[in-house]
A and B are shown apart, each in its own frame.
Chain A
Amino acid sequence: MDRAYFDHAATTPLRSEVLQEMLPFFQENYGNASSLHQEGQTAARAVEKARNQLSSLIGCLPQEIVFTSGGTESDNMALKGTGILSRKKHIIVSSIEHHAVLYTAKALERAGYRLTILPVDTTGRLDPDTVKKAIAPDTYIVSVMMANNEIGTIQPIQEIAAIAHEAGVLMHTDAVQAVGNLPIHVDSLGCDLLSLSGHKFYGPKGTGALYIRKGTPIAAWMDGGEQEHGKRSGTHNTPGIVGLGKAAELALAELPQRMEHVQKMRDYLLEEIPKHIDEIRINGSLTNRLPNNVHISVKYIEGEGLLMRLDDAGFAVSTGSACSSHSLKTSHVLEAIGLDAVTAQGSLRITLGHDNQQKDVERFVPALVQVVASLRAMSPLYHTKKP
């Protein structure tokens, strides 16, 4: 059976070009990038090339990049690393941050920091004015994600960063979902720190970076051999970093075509699904939205069943239902945009990518119609509502 992978917000397939760049760095060029001999210097040059490739993608200086193991590490480093050095102890985040930011902020709160979690509107957008009101004399950082991983809403980072800077507060953005899907330039965004992850844009898993604007006070995150300007010690993951660099190079070259490719399919789904299925809700903003994200709630059914039936029909999708999570809790993002718990149970996320084609989304709509009908037919809630 033909399968269509619609879960690119979870991870993306590694591009062949990326793999080809990585392969020589497993066995042939195995040197440690910190070593002075030829083997080491070959690795060091590859790491610096990747740093250049990545800095071109986000418009920063190469020395402003610190390689990490991924988005989660970058978020932890950004919030905790600046917090350690700051005499001010107040953190502001939005209520729809990824857990890598939200739980990091809560961990700091347990350690004695003060935390403000700001609400968002029903489309998931944070009003910059609420940030302005929340900033206090002891605020050291504002962290707001650039684009949401569940509902795809894009935040007004530029405006929020301007407000933060006016008050002398650092601005961090988790851009894990945005890099490779949207044009990013750290200077026009105005952020001081930006997290990104390689496997979200066709690079290898276990790779990522934190952009740190020159002059931003941040403590060493990993102490040891002084790699990454002493900020993040540990032997360089050379093959991974090389892959991340190549993925960045491809993203920069292909961005306009990539956006157009997924956006066409996204708009097709956003238009067609409501035509064929009643009582659904489209979540997130229709205007400020990632070009590859479709997020709907199908009333009267539960998302895990929906996901599993679609999986059987050949489609890989995602859900924010409580049942599908280990914690058995409804997604905090869907709660924050005001979805009641029952509607949130029937949520479905489709995130498109390079490897999807129009014929895949055309096949998907009738499959979804059929799966929804079969689950609603056995739902006691649907029958109560529709006698």
Chain B
Amino acid sequence: MYTEKVLDHFRNPRNVGVIENADGIGEVGNPVCGDMMTFYIKVENNILTDVKYQTFGCGAAIAVSSMISEMAIGKTLEEASQLTNKMVAEALGGLPEQKHHCSNLGADALHKAIDHYRSKHQEPLLKNENNEGINTGNINGRKKMAKPKVDKDCCTGCGICIESCPTNSLELVDDVSTLVRPDTCTGCGACADACPLECITMEE
């Protein structure tokens, strides 16, 4: 199910680890869903001189982390900001369908680390050499978590999306699938993939 490229990065992940006194840190994912990544960056003269990470997750999550670290090192912050999860998946020769939403989070984590770096520089007073107490959740309000939006006229109430949700965040309300627990929704998109009529879109 995995390409040779994915297996190679899974078996020999590049740049694993922690950067002490990192210039930026970004964390994404949720261990409940099975994937979580923490990225560390070192920035000199606007260039990413080092990228390291720690990853809890499946083969795809580890390969994605490794691949984007390779793609990002040596790039300017602007160039690195242009990297997308899709580009990472393409560089790996593709990922299995069910891994796209949950495991392909590398670009999000890198962007969060870059945002964290930028936020520190815009507000030098908040600079914290030990990286303690960093709010990695929502820096600069960059990418908010996507949530499922159900087209009420399209939904037949079959419940397949509800069965597919890893965190049981959806329920049928008046025979229409409804996000009743937005707090537990991780935005993984499994429901959108599962819907046989494609009535669900992930919207930020």
Q: Which residues of A contact B (CB under 8 A)?
A: 300-302, 304-305, 308-309, 312, 321-324, 326-330, 341-342, 345, 377-381, 383
Instruction: Identify 8 residue pairs between A and B in the complex whose beta-carbon atoms are under 8 Å apart, listed by A's number.
Output: A322-B34, A323-B99, A328-B33, A328-B34, A328-B188, A329-B164, A379-B54, A380-B55
Contacting residues, chain A, for B58 (C-beta < 8 A): 302, 304-305, 321, 323-324
| Nearest chain B residue, comparing its CB with the CB of A346 | B56
A379 vs B56: C-alpha distance when bound (angstroms): 5
Residue B37 is within 8 A (CB to CB) of chain A in the complex? yes
Residue in A321, A323, A330, A377 with the greatest tally of chain B CB atoms within 10 Å: A323
A330-B167 Cα distance, complex, nearest whole Å: 9
CB pair B55 A379 closer than 8 Å: yes
Is B38 in contact with chain A by the CB < 8 A criterion?
yes
With A342-B31, A345-B34 as contacts: A330 and B55 at CB distance below 8 Å:
no
Interface residues on B, range: 20 to 34
Task: Report A-chain residues with C-beta under 8 Å of the C-beta of B36.
Answer: 380-381
A300, A305, A322, A326: which contacts B62 (Cβ < 8 A)? A305
Query: Is B13 a contact partner of A380 (Cβ separation < 8 A)?
Result: no
CB <8 Å contact, A345 and B31:
yes
Contacts of A321 in B (CB 8 A): 34, 58
Inter-subunit contact A378/B59 (CB<8 Å): no
Decide if the interface of chain B is mainly helix, strand, loop or mixed: mixed
Question: What chain A residues lie within 8 Å of B62 (beta carbons)?
Answer: 305, 378
Q: Is the CB of B56 within 8 A of A300?
A: yes
How near does chain A come to B183, taking the closest CB pair, in angstroms? 15
Other-chain residue from B18, B33, B60 in contact with A322 (beta carbon distance below 8 A) = B33
How far apart sit A323 and B166, CA to CA, in the bound complex (Å)?
10
Q: How far is the CB of B13 from chain A (nearest CB, A)?
A: 7
Chain B contacts for A377, CB-based, 8 A: 16
Do the beta carbons of A323 and B103 come within 8 Å of each other?
yes
Query: Is B55 touching A328 in the complex (CB atoms < 8 A)?
Result: no
| With A301-B56, A379-B55 as contacts: A328 and B98 at CB distance below 8 Å | yes
Closest to B97 in A: A326
Which of A302, A321, A330, A377: most chain B CB closer than 10 A? Answer: A302
Q: Which residues of B contact A379 (CB under 8 A)?
A: 54-56
Contacting pair A380 B56 (CB below 8 A): yes
Query: B residues near A, CB below 8 A?
Result: 7, 10-11, 13, 16-18, 27, 31-38, 54-62, 98-99, 102-103, 163-164, 166, 188, 190
Expressed in whole angstroms, the Cα–Cα distance for A292 and B115 within the complex equals: 51
Given A302-B57, A342-B32, do A380 and B98 touch, yes or no (CB 8 Å)? no
Set of chain B residues within 8 Å of A323, measured between Cβ atoms: 34-35, 57-58, 60-61, 99, 102-103
Give Cα distance in the complex from A329 to B11, angstroms.
25
- Give the distance in Å from the alpha carbon of A290 to the alpha carbon of B54 in the complex: 37
Contact A380 B35 (CB under 8 A): no
Q: Please give the distance in Å from B41's CB to the nearest CB on chain A.
A: 15
* A302-B35, A341-B32, A378-B16 as given contacts; A322 in contact with B57, CB under 8 Å: no
Query: With a CB–CB cut-off of 8 A, which chain A residues contact B56?
Result: 300-302, 345, 379-381
Residues of A within 8 A of B11 (CB): 309, 312
What residues of chain A lie closer than 8 Å to B18, measured between beta carbons? 383
Report the bound CA distance from A345 to B55 in whole Å.
14
With both chains docked as a complex, state the minimum distance between the C-beta of B31 and any C-beta of chain A, in angstroms: 4
The chain A residue with its CB closest to the CB of B62 is A305
Assess whether A378 is in contact with B13, with CB atoms less than 8 Å apart: yes
Q: Which residues of B contact A341 (CB under 8 A)?
A: 31-32
Q: How far is the CB of B84 from chain A (nearest CB, A)?
A: 22
Is there an interface contact between A378 and B54, defined as CB atoms closer than 8 Å?
yes
Please give, as numbers and ranges, the residues of chain A lying within 8 Å of B35 by CB-CB distance: 302, 323
Q: Determine how close the nearest CB of chain A comes to the CB of B171; give it in whole angstroms.
A: 16
Instruction: Name the residue on B nearest A340 (C-beta).
Output: B32
A340 to chain B, nearest CB (A): 8
User: Which chain A residue has the least Cβ–Cβ distance from B31?
Assistant: A342
Cβ distance B28 to chain A, nearest Cβ, rounded Å: 11
A377 to B27, CA, bound (A): 17
Q: A328-B190, A383-B18 are in contact. Are A304 and B33 (CB under 8 A)?
A: no
B188 closest partner in A (C-beta) = A328
A380 touches B102 (CB 8 A): no
Beyond A305-B58, A345-B34, A379-B56, 8 additional pairs, beta carbon < 8 A:
A305-B61, A309-B11, A312-B11, A323-B57, A328-B98, A328-B190, A380-B27, A380-B36
